[in-house]
């Protein structure tokens, strides 16, 4: 048995490009959906052509042409969708329902990975408005997958390092503060933060692994389960300077939503669940899930003190 053939949908996106890279690196025949909607987006086209140079195959297909999706799916064994679910970029979660329908029609897929990669939506039934839309829509997609009896792996349970580590989890910026830092509550909620390249590596490892079939893959690499205060300490040690710590209470943080645009309100809700409730780590992983670093101890994941060095 050779390695499974993989189709990546959303391959030019933030996670998608990393999934394509990891797929190629681990020796899977890799196909990337090339959508005519790309129009004049030269950056996306050049990324697709770069993938082709590295050995990926480009497959034409459009969400407005159902048969083209079915034909693309029939070429491969596994489909990974990485369409954006964040409101400050684009928000396309329910577009996946067309892909689920195409996978059901094709009838040949051994595994489908829908676009997840964040908080586990199955645990977010209590989530705040308006941010809960992300989780509600992901659950609609999950229900469609399970109703269609499509084999799946859900990948979730980590904060992306690019959005949570480099900026010390400050909202509205991607760069670390050098004078003062906002601390959420007591700053002691445990948060899993993982380099996006490592998330992609772990995801691809699961493709032909029976242990992850019809299960959720969570991320709890022991050295990357950190509190915000630990993250700030790492940064202070790197730059040799103590920052001014400003504590924001739960009430004040939620009140900051007022007057924000929709995307900002969504962000505040998600940060609230992560940093005040500890929603990435406040549960035991049961029989429905597996933990990535336990399954694949050979992956040398990036520690956050190493990750922060480039910002210093």
Active-site residues, by number, are 138
Rounded Cα distance between 187 and 171, Å, is 15
Other Cβ atoms closer than 10 A to 265: 19
DSSP assigned state of 174: S
Contact 151, 183 (CB under 8 A): no
179's CB contacts (< 8 A; 6+ apart) are 243, 244
Q: Say if residue 64 is exposed, middle or buried (CB neighbours under 10 Å; 0-12, 13-18, 19+).
A: exposed
Contact 207, 1 (CB under 8 A): no
DSSP assigned state of 187: S
Q: Which of 308, 85, 17 is nearest to 175 (CA)?
A: 308
Rounded Cα distance between 201 and 117, Å, is 13
Helix axes 16-25, 196-205, angle to 10 degrees: 50
Q: Which of 226, 236, 242 is nearest to 280 (CA)?
A: 226
Using DSSP, state whether 242 is helix, strand or coil.
coil
DSSP assigned state of 55: T
The residue with tokens 């996670």 is 15
Quickly list H helices, the chain.
16-25, 42-53, 66-74, 96-106, 132-147, 161-164, 196-205, 228-239, 250-255, 262-275, 292-295, 304-308
């Amino acid at each position: 048995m050779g390695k499974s053939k993989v189709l990546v949908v959303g391959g030019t996106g933030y996670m998608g490009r990393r999934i394509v890279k990891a797929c190629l690196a681990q020796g899977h025949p890799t196909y990337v959906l090339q959508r005519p909607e790309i129009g004049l987006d030269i950056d996306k086209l050049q990324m697709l052509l770069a993938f082709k140079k590295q050995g990926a195959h480009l497959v034409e297909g459009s969400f407005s042409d159902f048969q083209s999706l079915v034909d693309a799916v029939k070429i491969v064994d596994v489909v990974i969708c990485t369409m954006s679910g964040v409101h400050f970029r684009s928000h396309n979660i329910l577009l996946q329902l067309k892909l689920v329908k195409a996978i059901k029609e094709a009838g040949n897929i051994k595994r489908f990975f829908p676009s997840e990669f964040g908080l586990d939506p199955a645990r977010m039934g209590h989530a705040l408005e308006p941010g809960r839309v992300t989780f509600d829509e992901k659950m609609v997609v999950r229900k469609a997958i399970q109703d269609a009896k499509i084999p799946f792996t859900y990948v979730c349970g980590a904060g992306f390092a690019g959005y949570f580590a480099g900026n010390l989890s400050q909202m509205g910026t991607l760069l670390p503060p050098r004078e003062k830092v906002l601390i959420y509550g007591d700053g002691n909620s445990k948060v899993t933060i993982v380099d996006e390249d490592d998330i992609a590596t772990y995801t691809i490892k699961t493709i032909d692994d029976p242990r992850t079939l019809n299960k959720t893959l969570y991320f709890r690499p022991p050295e990357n389960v950190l509190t915000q205060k630990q993250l700030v300490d790492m940064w202070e040690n790197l730059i040799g300077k103590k920052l001014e710590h400003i504590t924001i209470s739960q009430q004040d943080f939620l009140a900051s939503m007022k007057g924000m645009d929709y995307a900002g309100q969504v962000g505040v809700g998600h940060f609230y669940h992560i940093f005040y409730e500890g929603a990435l780590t406040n549960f035991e992983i049961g029989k429905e899930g597996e933990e990535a670093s336990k399954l694949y101890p050979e992956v040398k994941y990036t520690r956050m003190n190493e990750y922060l060095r480039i910002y210093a």
